[in-house]
Each structure stands twice: as structure tokens, then as C-alpha cells.
């Protein structure tokens, strides 16, 4: 299991994964400043052809590649609480540059770890993992605006990662269940009837009660505030709804809420599942009403139910999210409430209780025909553990299986493990699976306004780089571009960037090449490809 503080307990094994709580091929974007005319004559005119560069087809991988950037307990970023703005920003840029060097095209940033916020919110105090204080005081700048702008400058999608119901982190790092240690203005101080403490003892933390409609609406409003105010590309949850079972007789004490609000025909488990379903459905509806181009996805625990419990379940023998944490992940997909789902498959190929090679096909079959895209949560943090994780090829083999089952992307946990590159495992799968850039998969349900074909105005050699100047076509403004280079019988994607970023091929062949350019809308829909532009050596 990915998250520090999550207890991904395989019931048979009773194993606790996780920790206590829980390239540079693209040119950095800058304001476009058209340079002087290059050595090539005026651009060739032409309306462009969809999917073709002159007489050959264009080829580009379509997959999401991303990593989780965890802020709680400063696991990834910032490196410690209370750092100066300049250092926080420099560290963040470093993580984005790592993503670019890995040829990623998305980043998932933890912006609401536990009832707090990485933006100035009227619903939550400032995060102590940023400010180093639990007094709710502003750091004096806007981290969310900065984070989104810097990600977009590198042509990375920004997915804002929220934990809806967690109200605090356990002591001593967090306030635990002690109301006296909450930041002034924390909503659970004003609404103590929304708060449930779990588990008992030193590991206690506060949760917003998922069974209280007022609490649920409040946490929805808190998250949607960020969607309204910032140019995020996605809203992302992990698997924290009702807490994972702690064992030892600990109970999530929602008796009063259940007695007051449950339908008489509902048992406790069905009522809890209905509460989580309502949150997922309402967030889906409200995001589409507010900003229909923003994607909504969830990264759940990798087992819905075991086939031994339910014949519709997977060939596994582990904790069942449907029963243990009341997350009916299959229903969310079948109802179409999500745009994408990222099951956390943090098990090795051949693991007897949850074999990656057996769980993956179950998820692939689930999403088929639903329009919900399947990405896989990859357990980079497990590299170096005993057994199959002691070999450098485990993740490489898993990504090969993903290709076999038409998976549309991967998200890696977490950024720090990618940077560490234990056993060279990260470099290995990057070179084998992310050797070339990739465009994001398109989603049929998102708004689509593919731009017209752009015009390549000039091309020139500048040292070891080919730089190209372009003009957009008439009609919708492009959000990004894709650069193709002819290689034999096809033109392959060699670079992609945000509109406004310089177009460049940083690894051109010695003997010259022909290039084509396309423009894409915000949802990744690609317009016709430009006429070719030749560059002779």
C-alpha cells in the first residue's frame, strides 16, 4: 500500500505496508518571443492532414505518466516545514524537472493532506507541513498558483490530491485527537459534532464524519474552492474515506450518526458504503458543473473483493476495500462517476495473496466499455525489499504487463523513490517504457475543440538542437503542441510542450530531418498536422 498512515492489511498475512503516516528533454516554458527568420524559406502553406506528416503517418504514445508528490509529514516536499518561500519553490521546481527528465506528463500534488490546505482557504487552516506552524497564519504567498503555473510551464498536468475526511494527523507530529492543539479556526473546533476520533490511544486522529451530510457538503465545498480558484487539471483522491481497520477492538464510533440517519433497511456496512458513494457521485456532478474539463479520479486499494467472498471479485486473498473501508470501487467505475481510476497494485508478480499478474486483468476487465480510464498505481517505494522486490526488473515487468492489458497510464509512489532510483530500477523502466515522450490519453467525456493545423514558419540548427518557429491556425487557441520527426515510414513524436514554449528537438539526427507540428486542446485532442518542414544539415 502506498500511503503512510494507511494500513494496507492483507487479512491473511496481516502485513502493514507503508510508513508511520501515511530529461530534461523539454525546454522550460517561457513567454513566446518569435526569433528572427531562420535559414529556411517561408513556410509551406496547407490546411494539414489529421494523423499524417506529408506522406507518412505520425506516431505517438498515448498514456499518462505521473508521480505522487506527498506533503504530509514532509515525506517528499517541502523537505521540512517552515522553509523560506524561495527554498520551497526551488525544491518544487526540482521535482518538476525530475518529472520531465522521466518523460512524465502529469504530477499529483498533495494539497489537502488532513483538513488543511496549501492555499488560502475559508474552509481550512494553512498546512503546517508548509508553514511550520499550527496557528493558521499565511506564509505570505500563493503556493497553489505557483505550483499549477510551474507544472503547466513544463507541460505537466496538475492533479490536486485531496484527502476528504481526514481532519488531523496522529501525535506527536500532528495534533492527534486533541482539540486544544488544532489551529485556530479549524472547522472541527466549530463543529465538534462532525468529528470522530479513531483509533483509541496514542495513534488517534480526528475524522470528519462521512455519515453527516453537513460535514460531507463542507469537505466537498473545501475541495471545490481550489477547483474554482485555480487552473487545476484534475481532482484526485486516494483511498482514505472510512479508516482502515486498526485491529485490537478499535471501533469507528459513528453510532449516533448511524442511529439518526440510516434507513431502517440498512445495515451499518451498507450505510457507510452509501455515504462514500454519495461523496463520489456528488463530487463528480459538481466538478462537471463547475469546470467540465477538469478530470476526477480516485486511487483505491487494489482489491475490491476476493473471489472467495464474491464470485465477481479478483483472484486474491487480501483485505477487501468493499468490506473493510466501505469503498465500492467497482460501482464507481460502472456508474461512470470517475474519469479515471488508479488502483494501488503494490504487490509483486507471483505474490500468493495478491498477484500483480492476476489483479491487473480484473481491473482491465472492469473498465472495459465504461469510458473510465485505467491507470495503475506503481509501488516504486517497495524496490529494495526482500524477495522479488530485491531485483531491479520488477517494475519493468509490471509495466510490460500493463501494455498487454491496455492500461492507459501509471502513477508512481512516490517522488522521493523515483529520485533515489534504488537498484537502478527507475532508470530501467524509464529507458524501456518511457524512452520517448507521450501525449495524454484523450477522454471522450471531456470538452473537445481540436485546433486547426499550425504553420511551421522556420527551422534552424542551433548547436545540437533544432529550433522551430510556428504560428497557430485559425479557430480555437491551442493549449499545447506536439513535434514529430520523420523517421523512415513514419513520423515519431520527439517533443511536446505548452503553447508559448519554444519548439525544439534536442536530439536531432546528424543528417538533417523533416518535421511536422500539431496543436492540441486542453483535453489532449489533436488537430490536423502541419505541412512538413525540411531541415538540411
**Worst-scoring range by mean pLDDT, 28-37, 122-131, 209-218?**
28-37
* Pairing state between β 465-471 and 455-462: antiparallel
At residue 31, the pLDDT reads 25
Report whether pLDDT(193) > 90: yes
- Res. 5: pLDDT tops 70: no
Q: What is the pLDDT of residue 357?
A: 98
Strands 61-62, 376-378: pairing is unpaired
Q: Which residues contact 283 (CB under 8 A, 6 or more apart)?
A: 220, 223, 224, 235, 296
Quick: pLDDT tens for 368-398: 999 999 999 999 999 999 999 999 999 999 9
Report the percentage of the chain scoring pLDDT > 90: 88
Helix (H) or strand (E) holding 536: none
Please classify residue 354 by burial: count the beta carbons closer than 10 Å to its beta carbon, then call 0-12 exposed, 13-18 middle and 19+ buried. Answer: buried
Q: Within 291-340, where are the H helices?
A: 321-324, 329-334
pLDDT number for residue 249:
85
With a cut of 80, say whether residue 28 has pLDDT above it.
Answer: no
Is it the case that residue 98 has pLDDT exceeding 90?
Answer: yes
| Separation CA 529–CA 155 (nearest Å) | 19
Supply the pLDDT for residue 207: 98
Higher pLDDT: 2 or 492? It is: 492
By CB atoms closer than 10 A (0-12, 13-18, 19+), residue 192 is exposed
pLDDT at 47: 63
**Would you place residue 256 in the very low, low, confident or very high pLDDT band (cuts 50, 70, 90)?**
very high
| SS3 readout for 186-224 | CHHHHCHHHEEEECCCCCCEEEECCCCHHHHHHHHHHHH
For residue 268, give every residue at least 6 positions away whose Cβ sits within 8 Å of its Cβ, in sequence order, or none. 258, 262
Question: Which cell numbers in the block locate residue 282?
Answer: 456528488
H or E stretch covering 299:
none
Q: Is 49 helix (H, G, I), strand (E, B) or coil?
A: strand
- Give the whole-angstrom CA distance, residue 23 versus residue 505: 13
pLDDT of 11 strictly over 50: no
Judged against a pLDDT cut of 70, whether residue 4 lies above it is answered with no
Confidence class for position 257, pLDDT limits 50, 70, 90: very high
pLDDT at 102 over 80: yes
Give the least confident one: 4-13, 269-278, 443-452. Answer: 4-13
Mean pLDDT, residues 307-327? 98
The pLDDT tens digits for 44-78 are 334 689 999 999 999 999 999 999 999 999 999 99
Q: pLDDT higher for 217 or 23?
A: 217
Q: Is residue 274 scored above 80 in pLDDT?
A: yes
Point out which residues pair with 356 in neighbouring strands.
none
The answer to whether residues 65 and 433 touch, using CB atoms and an 8 Å cutoff, is no
How many CA atoms does the CB half-sphere of 171 hold within 13 Å? 15
Cell of 353: 495473496
* pLDDT for res 511: 83
Q: How far is CA 412 from the centre of its chain?
A: 9
Residue written as grid cell 506527498: 70
d(Cα 248, Cα 204) in Å, to the nearest integer? 13
Residue for grid cell 507503508: 18
Mean residue pLDDT across the chain? 91
From 492, 486, 491, 496, select the one nearest 519 (Cα to Cα).
Answer: 496
Find out whether 275 and 165 touch, Cβ atoms under 8 Å.
Answer: no
Contacts of 121 (CB under 8 A, 6+ apart): 222, 225, 226
**Between 401 and 511, residue with greater pLDDT:** 401
Residue 463 pLDDT: 84
Question: Which of 3-7, 41-45, 427-431 reaches the highest mean pLDDT?
Answer: 427-431
- Grid look-up 515522450 returns 437
User: Would you give the DSSP letter of residue 384?
Assistant: T
Q: How far apart are CA 119 and CA 109, in angstroms?
A: 13
The arithmetic mean of pLDDT across residues 476-491, rounded, is 97
Q: How large is the angle between the packed helices 85-101 and 143-153, nearest 10 degrees?
A: 30
CB atoms within 10 A of CB 488: 7
Q: What is the mean pLDDT of residues 271-283?
A: 98
pLDDT at residue 516 in the model: 98
pTM: 0.92
Backbone angles phi, psi at 138, to 5 degrees: -70, 145
Amino acid at each position: 500500500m502506498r500511503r503512510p498512515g494507511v494500513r494496507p492489511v492483507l487479512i491473511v498475512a496481516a502485513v502493514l505496508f507503508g510508513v508511520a503516516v501515511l530529461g530534461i528533454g523539454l525546454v522550460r516554458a517561457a513567454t513566446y518571443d518569435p526569433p528572427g527568420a531562420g535559414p529556411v524559406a517561408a513556410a509551406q502553406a496547407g490546411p494539414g492532414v489529421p494523423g499524417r506528416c506529408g506522406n507518412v503517418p505520425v506516431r505517438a504514445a498515448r498514456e499518462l505518466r505521473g508521480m505522487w508528490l506527498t506533503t504530509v509529514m514532509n515525506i517528499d516536499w517541502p523537505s521540512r516545514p517552515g522553509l523560506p518561500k524561495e527554498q520551497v519553490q526551488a525544491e518544487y521546481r526540482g521535482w518538476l524537472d525530475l518529472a520531465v527528465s522521466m518523460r512524465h506528463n502529469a504530477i499529483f500534488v498533495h494539497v489537502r493532506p488532513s483538513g488543511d490546505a496549501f492555499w488560502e482557504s475559508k474552509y481550512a487552516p494553512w498546512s503546517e507541513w508548509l508553514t511550520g506552524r499550527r496557528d493558521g497564519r499565511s506564509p505570505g504567498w500563493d503556493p497553489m498558483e505557483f505550483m499549477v503555473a510551474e507544472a503547466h510551464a513544463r507541460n505537466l498536468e496538475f492533479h490536486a490530491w485531496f484527502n476528504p475526511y481526514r481532519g488531523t494527523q496522529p501525535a506527536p507530529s500532528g495534533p492527534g485527537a486533541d482539540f486544544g492543539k488544532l489551529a485556530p479556526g479549524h472547522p472541527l473546533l466549530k463543529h465538534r459534532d462532525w468529528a470522530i476520533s479513531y483509533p483509541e490511544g496514542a495513534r488517534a486522529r480526528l475524522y470528519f464524519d462521512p455519515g453527516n451530510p453537513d460535514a460531507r457538503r463542507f469537505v466537498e465545498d473545501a475541495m471545490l474552492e481550489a477547483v474554482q480558484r485555480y487552473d487545476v487539471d484534475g481532482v484526485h483522491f486516494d483511498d482514505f474515506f472510512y479508516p482502515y481497520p486498526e485491529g485490537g477492538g478499535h471501533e469507528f464510533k459513528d453510532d449516533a450518526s448511524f442511529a439518526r440517519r440510516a434507513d431502517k433497511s440498512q445495515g451499518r456496512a451498507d450505510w457507510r458504503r452509501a455515504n462514500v458513494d454519495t461523496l463520489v457521485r456528488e463530487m463528480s456532478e459538481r466538478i462537471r458543473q463547475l469546470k467540465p474539463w477538469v478530470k476526477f479520479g480516485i486511487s483505491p486499494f487494489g482489491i475490491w473483493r476476493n473471489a472467495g467472498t464474491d464470485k465477481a471479485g479478483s483472484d486474491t486473498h487480501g483485505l477487501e476495500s468493499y468490506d473493510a473501508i466501505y469503498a465500492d470501487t467497482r460501482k464507481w467505475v460502472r456508474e461512470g462517476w470517475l474519469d479515471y481510476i488508479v488502483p494501488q497494485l503494490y504487490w509483486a508478480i507471483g505474490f500468493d495473496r495478491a498477484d500483480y499478474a492476476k489483479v491487473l486483468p480484473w481491473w482491465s476487465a472492469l473498465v472495459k466499455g465504461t469510458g473510465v480510464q485505467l491507470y495503475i498505481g506503481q509501488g516504486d517505494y517497495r524496490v529494495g525489499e526482500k524477495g522479488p522486490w530485491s531485483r531491479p526488473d520488477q517494475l519493468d515487468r509490471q509495466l510490460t504487463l500493463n501494455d498487454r492489458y491496455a492500461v492507459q497510464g501509471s502513477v508512481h509512489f512516490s517522488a522521493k523513490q523515483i529520485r533515489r532510483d534504488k537498484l537502478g530500477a527507475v532508470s530501467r523502466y524509464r529507458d524501456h517504457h518511457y524512452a520517448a515522450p507521450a501525449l495524454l490519453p484523450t477522454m471522450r467525456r471531456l470538452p473537445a475543440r481540436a485546433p486547426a493545423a499550425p504553420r511551421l514558419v522556420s527551422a534552424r540548427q542551433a548547436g545540437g538542437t533544432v529550433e522551430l518557429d510556428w504560428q497557430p491556425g485559425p479557430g480555437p487557441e491551442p493549449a499545447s503542441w506536439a513535434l514529430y520527426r520523420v523517421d523512415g515510414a513514419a513520423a515519431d513524436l520527439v517533443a511536446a510542450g505548452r503553447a508559448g514554449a519554444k519548439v525544439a528537438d534536442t536530439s536531432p539526427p546528424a543528417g538533417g530531418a523533416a518535421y511536422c507540428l500539431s496543436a492540441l486542446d486542453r483535453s489532449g485532442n489533436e488537430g490536423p498536422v502541419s505541412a512538413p518542414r525540411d531541415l538540411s544539415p
